[in-house]
Structure 1
C-alpha cells in the first residue's frame, strides 16, 4: 500500500515534470508546482528542500553503501564500488525509465541543475568513501575512487538521457564496465 507521503511526493514529481515540459525548468516556480499538485508550498518543502531536488536527489545512497560494505575488502576500491553498485541496482525495483530519462534530460539541458547534480553526487561520494574506509581503504584513495566512479556514472546517465536507444540498466552497466576494464 502506498502511503499518503509517497502519493504526495509522486504528485509533486508529476506536476513538476508537466510544468517543466511546458514552461521550462527556470520559468517554473515552486508555487506553480505546489498548486498543480494540489498542495501548499509548505507541503512542497516538506518533501523536497529545493526545486532542483525534484530532479537530482538520489534516495539510494544507503543501499549503495551497504552494497559496497558487502564486497570483499581484498578487492581494489574501484572493484568494490562497481560490484557494490551492481548489487544495489539488482535490489531496486525496475524504475519508470521514461520518468527517469525525462528528469535526467532536464538536468542535462539545464546548466544550473548540473551544479545541483554535483551536490547530490558529493553526498553519494561521501557514502561510498565511508564504506571503503570502513573496509580498510585509506581516506584519500577512497575519496578518489568514489569520485571517479560517480563521474563515470553521471556522464553515462546524462548521455543516456539524451538518447532513446538504451535502457537505464545498460547505461549504468556500461559505465561500470569501463571502470572495470581499466586493467586490461
Structure 2
C-alpha cells in the first residue's frame, strides 16, 4: 500500500510552520529568548500573531523540534522484539540521530537549526522545564512503540526504566554535541554515551 501524499493545503501549512519556527529560533539566538515576543516573531515571518499561535500554542513550542520523536518511535517499532530493550531503544536513538544530521544520507533537519534549538533549551530556564516535559512524553511514546503488555505493571516498569536510562545518555550526548558546535558526530556521541551508561553491555 502506497503512502498517502500530503495535500497542497497540508504542504503549505507545513511550510508556514517551518518558516515561522526558523525565524523564531534565529531571533531567539540573536537577541535572547526572553527579549523576543511572539509579535516580533510574527513580524519577522510576515504573518499575524494569530497565525503564529495557530501553529505554536505557546512561545516555548517555537523551540521544540517534533521530528525526533516520530523518527525514534518508528525505529523502535521496527526493531526486533526479541532484543533487549536497551539495545532496541539505544539503536533507535542512534539511527534517528543519523537521519536527522545526515549520517545516513540527506539530513532530515538543518544541523545549525538543531544546534540553536538545543542551546536555547539548555540556557533558558523556562525551556529547560519544557524540555523535561517533552522528554517524559518521548518516554511514553517509546514505551508504546516497544509494544509492552500494559496489563503487566512489571513489564512497563522495566521498559520505562531502560528507556529513561537511554534518554539520559542521549541528553548527555546532545549537550556534548552542542559544546562541540556540531563538529563531533551526534550518532557516535550517543553510541558512546549509551556504552558508558550500560558498561558496554546490552
Q: Same fold (TM over 0.5)?
A: yes
Residues 156 and 183 of structure 1: CA distance in aligned 2, closer, same or farther (over 3 Å): same
| Alignment match of 2:170 (pick from 141, 153, 159) | 153
Q: What is the total number of aligned residue pairs between the two structures? A: 184
Alignment of 1:74-89 (within 5 A): 74-89=82-97
* Coordinate RMSD, CA, aligned: 2.6
Instruction: Report if the CA contact (8 A) 1:57-1:120 is conserved.
Output: no
Instruction: Report if the CA contact (8 A) 1:12-1:33 is conserved.
Output: yes
User: Could you state the TM-score of these two structures normalised by the residue count of structure 2?
Assistant: 0.78
| Alignment match of 1:6 (pick from 6, 14, 27) | 14
Per-residue CA deviation, residues 26-49 of structure 1 (Å, 9 max, x unaligned), is 121111111111111221122222
User: Could you state the TM-score of these two structures normalised by the residue count of structure 1?
Assistant: 0.85
Instruction: Report if the CA contact (8 A) 1:81-1:149 is conserved.
Output: yes
Residues 58 and 176 of structure 1: CA distance in aligned 2, closer, same or farther (over 3 Å): farther
Unaligned runs of 5+ in 2: 1-7, 101-105
Unaligned runs of 5+ in 1: none
Residues 163 and 84 of structure 1: CA distance in aligned 2, closer, same or farther (over 3 Å): closer
Instruction: Report if the CA contact (8 A) 1:133-1:142 is conserved.
Output: no
Instruction: Report if the CA contact (8 A) 1:82-1:180 is conserved.
Output: no
Q: Give the corresponding residue for 1:178.
A: 196
